[in-house]
Amino acid sequence: MRKYIITVFVLMIAILVFLYAYFYMGFFIDFRPNAPVQVAFHAEEGGIFRAGEDTPLLLRGVEVVAFVPSQSYWQLGASHADFLRWFGYISDMGATTVYAASIMHSSFYNALYTFNADPYHDNYLLLIHGVGGLYVDDMSMYLRRVIDIVHGNRVDLLNRYGVQLFLRDISPWVVAYVINTDINPDHIAYINNNVNFPDSFEGRFFSTAPEANRFEALLAEVMDNATEYETRRFKAQRPISFLSSPLVDFLRYQPFYAVQLRKYAHLDHENIIPSAEMQAGHFAAYTLFYLSNEFLSLLHPVQRIELADILEDLDVYCNFGGYFDLLARYHTVPVVAVGFGATSSRTPGRIDAPAINERQQGHALASLSMQLEERGWAGNIISSWQDDWSRRTWNTAFAADPYRSMYWNNVQSQSQGYGLMSFDPGQYYRPVRIDGVPDEWTEANFIHEYDGIRIYAKQSVQNLYLLVRGEAINQRDVFYLPIKLSPNSGTDFHEHLKFDMPANFLLRIHGANNTRLMVTMRNNQMFMRFHEEITGENPFLFVPERWISEFVPINIAMQNTTMTRISDQFIREEYVYGIGMVEGIMQVGEPRDIVRLLYRETGRLIHGINDPNHPNFNSIADFHFGHELVEIRLPWGLLNFFDPSNLRVHDDYYDNFGVDGISISDIYIGIGHRDSTQVPMSPFRLQGWRGNLQFHERLKLSYFIMQEAWRG
């Protein structure tokens, strides 16, 4: 009996060791060393082709992530049914491709298999799969996992989702792999300046050109490792690339402008060369975000000479000022835009970019897609399919609880509005349609009355809604609504008005074009967070008064994209080209401080109809006047909520030396006008929702505009 137990135990250990080696370490025995390599897709000059076809594929697609509201990164996220439904929408839009930026839950791959294997429709979706990592071993390991997954040959016992079985072979529909590692220029510069990394690479499938830098050598090694693994284990190859961007591409600018553009790292797909054994080829992948339309005039003189033939007759009268045309001409391999977008959030990220609604978002995306295709790009992938509440934006991330962002939609965050599908408040329909028609309001929503004016309030996962109603309401006069949230600061007066209690915000209603939400200086989050970066003055040295702080406009910090030009008065200065010092002298303008951030008022409300079913729907509208009434939405992020699902707002910044949350149960609201002196205030009892939130999916107007562009 003892011998039997020992035998069984040893056998179990051997099985576990084998499974670990097979599924985790990539161990296998090649029983078909001479079997031919199958190449379902290959990249060459002219495009990406399916095997046996002479016409290149037109890769039109969207990036799909697993986000659904209330699901965190380490939870399941979208289900098999969710992905299957979304794939139907995506295919109906005219897309041919989906992009997964990282390893997904098994439900994603199972749903893609189910969708593509369905005999009742002729359409199928191709997949471009991305993978991250920082160094060769990380990226190679993740790529091996992806390769195993798409071939249906992976079992993960230690996955963040729990036990995951990847047993569906979706490789017939996998077009390519993209290494979307950290393209932060700091990381690239660190690798390039670290002599511990090799400055060249020569492998079986890829090698580097003499001009390549260390980071490119690292990428070539990863691409070679991945191709070697898939070739040996699965007797297959497919095109592979790495992700570049305008921030790290091959272009070099004059030093005076390179500093402003933060352009000090460079990647060039042409510096990685495939061997004859790499039958699938490779391509150039770019993610496209902001680039100054003036970039051509900022190029370094040496590079202007090198690119003279390419720059001649360049089409500059389009988005990105000729960048699309330049890349298509420069590269000898196909070029694919793996990620570009436009946000329909209430607040953009750049000072020169206006906030755009869903209709404008759709036209912007359609214009970009068509321009890329007209200039010969092999594909364009929109980022992303759905709005993702978990995404964070540099100018609002500090103001919200990072562990609870998936429970509410912060329309103040630029990054949360890039989708073609939104998760709207309400289980089946919006609780309030901002249209000036009070059909959805009842007496149960009433909270306050003063001088014949009644206030009603509602809430959702996105906004606080107010209905202000009375015979006196019109677009000519000014009305003031003090709003109290924080118990530790506030102001109980404004001009001739005296409030019942200290208020943190003041909503000033004055017609269609001059209605705004204001905040006390003590509760001004942007002053606390960005004042020093913009002015050089530390706000904690100029602490506003706790109880008598004035009301000021609500601003938001934005990137200043205006280039500081070389002045007419020149000085002689040595300059740096790339990493090393270049011999020579260049005329450079007077040095001056570069203003990278500026403020824009975000508390000014937009008048319009925010009802998706209305022909004049404006998705970024905040209020609308009706007959003797006005309907208003106030986004939680605009009201200094740290986590509305848990009823937490910003505590006093100067007591906590930054943002910290404090729990509340009520918001106090009142109303006054030009003849008022004393302004009483009444509570609106808030209801937290924690994980029990109500939302419904809605295809944005931008979806239908893209559908028209792609399907004709």
Q: Do 610 and 702 sit in the same domain of this protein?
A: no
Place of tokens 């089946």: 428
Q: If you average pLDDT over residues 328-337, what whole number do you get?
A: 96
Query: What 3-state class would DSSP assign to 423?
Result: strand
Q: If you average pLDDT over residues 326-350, what whole number do you get?
A: 94
Q: Do 406 and 450 sit in the same domain of this protein?
A: no
Does the pLDDT value for residue 239 go beyond 50?
Answer: yes
User: Which residues are CB-neighbours of 44 under 8 A, at least 6 positions away?
Assistant: 281, 333, 334
Beta strands 555-559; 597-601: pairing state: antiparallel
- Residue 545's pLDDT band, with cuts at 50, 70 and 90, is very high
**Residue 560, domain member (yes or no):** no
The per-residue pLDDT for 21 is 59
- Residue 358's pLDDT band, with cuts at 50, 70 and 90, is very high
Contact between residue 58 and residue 49 where contact means Cβ atoms under 8 Å apart: no
Structural domain count, the chain: 2
pLDDT tens digits for range 651-670 = 999 999 999 999 999 999 99
Structure token pair of residue 708: 């028209």
Structure token pair of residue 673: 């006008």
**Residue 1, domain member (yes or no):** no
The per-residue pLDDT for 498 is 95
Does the pLDDT value for residue 196 go beyond 60?
Answer: yes
The per-residue pLDDT for 594 is 67
Q: If you average pLDDT over residues 234-246, what whole number do you get?
A: 96
Per the model's pLDDT, the better-predicted residue between 552 and 36 turns out to be 552
Among residues 361, 372, 451, 473, which one has the least CA distance to residue 699?
Answer: 361
Does the pLDDT value for residue 245 go beyond 90?
Answer: yes
pLDDT tens digits for range 246-255 = 999 999 999 8
Q: Give the span between the Cα atoms of 498 and 678, in whole angstroms.
A: 5
Does the pLDDT value for residue 502 go beyond 90?
Answer: yes
pLDDT tens digits for range 102-153 = 999 999 999 999 999 988 878 899 999 999 877 788 889 999 999 999 999 9
- Tell me the torsion sign for CA atoms 196, 202, 204, 206: positive
**Residue 29, domain member (yes or no):** no
Q: If you average pLDDT over residues 196-221, what whole number do you get?
A: 96
The per-residue pLDDT for 467 is 98
Q: Do 519 and 388 sit in the same domain of this protein?
A: no
The per-residue pLDDT for 14 is 66
**Residue 329, domain member (yes or no):** yes
Does the pLDDT value for residue 310 go beyond 60?
Answer: yes
The per-residue pLDDT for 591 is 41
Please count the residues of the chain: 712
Q: Do 150 and 264 sit in the same domain of this protein?
A: yes
Q: Give the span between the Cα atoms of 131 and 144, in whole angstroms.
A: 10
> Could you give the C-alpha distances from 77 to 66, 68, 170, 393, 418, in angstroms and in order?
5, 6, 21, 21, 18
Q: Do 684 and 611 sit in the same domain of this protein?
A: yes
Does the pLDDT value for residue 409 go beyond 60?
Answer: yes
Across all residues in the chain, what is the average pLDDT?
A: 90
Contact between residue 249 and residue 285 where contact means Cβ atoms under 8 Å apart: no
- Of the listed ranges 86-95, 133-142, 546-555, 672-681, the least confidently predicted one is 133-142
Query: What 3-state class would DSSP assign to 322?
Result: helix
CATH number at 226 reads: 3.20.20.80
**Residue 31, domain member (yes or no):** no
Q: Do 617 and 655 sit in the same domain of this protein?
A: yes
Q: Do 290 and 180 sit in the same domain of this protein?
A: yes
Per the model's pLDDT, the better-predicted residue between 579 and 705 turns out to be 705
Does the pLDDT value for residue 262 go beyond 90?
Answer: no
**Residue 590, domain member (yes or no):** no
Q: Give the span between the Cα atoms of 47 and 377, in whole angstroms.
A: 8
The per-residue pLDDT for 28 is 60
Instruction: Specify the DSSP class assigned to residue 350.
Output: B
**Residue 7, domain member (yes or no):** no
Q: Do 172 and 286 sit in the same domain of this protein?
A: yes
- Of the listed ranges 179-183, 382-386, 515-519, the least confidently predicted one is 179-183
φ, ψ at 142 (rounded to 5°): -65, -35
Instruction: Specify the DSSP class assigned to residue 258.
Output: H
The per-residue pLDDT for 158 is 67
Structure token pair of residue 476: 């000519």
Q: Give the span between the Cα atoms of 139 and 182, in whole angstroms.
A: 11
The per-residue pLDDT for 321 is 85
- Of the listed ranges 40-54, 58-72, 352-366, 584-598, the least confidently predicted one is 584-598
**Residue 682, domain member (yes or no):** yes
- Output the 3-class SS for 650-683: ECCHHHHCCCCEEECCEEEEECEECCCCEECEEE
Q: Give the span between the Cα atoms of 594 and 189, in whole angstroms.
A: 22
Q: Do 249 and 388 sit in the same domain of this protein?
A: yes
The per-residue pLDDT for 238 is 97
Domain ranges, residue 615? 433-554+602-690
Q: Would you call the peptide bond into 384 cis, given omega within 30 degrees of 0 as the criterion?
A: yes
Residue 627: other Cβ atoms inside 10 A: 10
Q: Do 66 and 101 sit in the same domain of this protein?
A: yes
Contact between residue 506 and residue 702 where contact means Cβ atoms under 8 Å apart: no
The per-residue pLDDT for 38 is 93
- Residue 349's pLDDT band, with cuts at 50, 70 and 90, is confident
Give percent above pLDDT 70 in the chain.
Answer: 91
Q: Do 385 and 492 sit in the same domain of this protein?
A: no
The per-residue pLDDT for 450 is 94
Q: If you average pLDDT over residues 221-244, what whole number do you get?
A: 96
pLDDT tens digits for range 18-49 = 556 555 555 566 666 677 899 999 999 889 99
pLDDT tens digits for range 530-540 = 999 888 899 99
Q: Do 169 and 207 sit in the same domain of this protein?
A: yes
